Structure 1
């Protein structure tokens, strides 16, 4: 004797139950799947520290992009005035108006540089642009080189992997500061008479930062690829005869988005600090606006004019701290084991 049926059934429930579920209801939205990136973005938005750091970093990006516009709006510029008109040469070349001997000067909100009469705010704004451009370019180059070498070494294996791993380890053994100190006088002597010397100097700095910053990304990507290349989707792509280049770009690279984002977010603040440090040592940007160069010029005036030194240091600290905290938050958000 057969049991009575109430109608055709569907997978997961009856057709009547399925019809009662509104696809636009909150229940349907709760059971809908979310991509890993969407989950990570939700974690970031719930992290108040990450949101504040992202806002601070975005403000610095806007300052770097619109430094010229902001300078015009505030009425400051990089033009150096006649020194004797704004400086007291009998008092160590300190400003006649504004700090450290006088009160706030609305025409020069950050004060005036001693001995030169340059506007500190204008140099602070353009120094932010210099640091962001150099650090961003070096990060882009280093990340690209590291990703390519890591992908090829991890996927190919064998002799190619050994050679690329040896090159990576070789670069890791070279002290960065020693290499920078060695290359700086060579570049200075070779191109000192060139009309494009300062442009060459900036590109050399980008090359030095990127040349000694790609190894960590390469080792991280190689380790991830060594585990991913044995996965079923890669084996299926090989069986189907998919070219190696397509496997690397279409199959492996999308699965490496999380470690790449984390590496870039932590590499950028490191390059900002290194650029300022090299400029302070006199082997980075030696002409134009730079936070590190300003610190180098401000050190002798720390006792009489400490604000001159504090201004670029505060900028570097805020930018590096916000980028580091944002990078840590991104790493935690992309980690499936965290429950923040």
Structure 2
């Protein structure tokens, strides 16, 4: 067994965990590509069955939450992996293996056939999990604003040589608050929070599987929708996006008319993409995950288009985003040169 991502001692702990709960030695242990978190994943085989071990040693409480929510969501019909065993102290989970066929592959090759399946899955998710909402944290104004500040904490210094002055900070804070207040007034549902092409698996036989749901909250009915239709990793024709979002409203748990729905989608998408700009830079600068920089241009293009709907209400944010769009190519070249040196 090779363990390039963890210490030998950690690999041995995972092997002991696997043996303890299956009474079988691990025949093979293969490290898998990680995600945007500190979690690690291993595909482990015994004689006949393949499993996934989730290793969240740094944040064992997150593994506990994943296990609890997996049980709650599965009880209500969601296609989430079974949790066969857990070691709460070590942050280890033994999970059902959903395979390697990420839905991103199908979305890239045949979005017209794949997107309707995913929108149907999202409709089911929102209706099945509605009674769970009172038990989930609220995606409230404070959390929405906290996420938005990742933009000026990480993205702005990456793009601009001069820090924001006090007046800009004050105005930007007011713009964040106004956007968060608007989103907090939307109809509420159970929000997966990362409902996109890298967290949905194609399991075969027309079956889908959901991953990475441990941060679920109660929030805007639009949030998971725009996470899918305006995916940070894939961009679709604008006409298709508008058609998908408009059609979704007719079966969504909302009383919004078409105009209000369109505005709600733009508000929610702007918040998500501004936040993600900060997250992607943080992943590159702080965590050394340079691969996320290649997705910045797409996310910034989204945010610039979305802020145009609210330019009068968000002048500082609009100005920063539009100027960043001009500066980003050079900044990416500098970052690439620095990483290669």
TM-score range, shorter chain: under 0.3
**Greater CA radius of gyration, 1 or 2?**
1
Q: Which is richer in helix?
A: 1
Q: Which is richer in strand?
A: 2
Calculate the TM-score normalised by the size of structure 2: 0.26
Higher relative contact order (CA closer than 8 Å, sequence separation 6+):
1
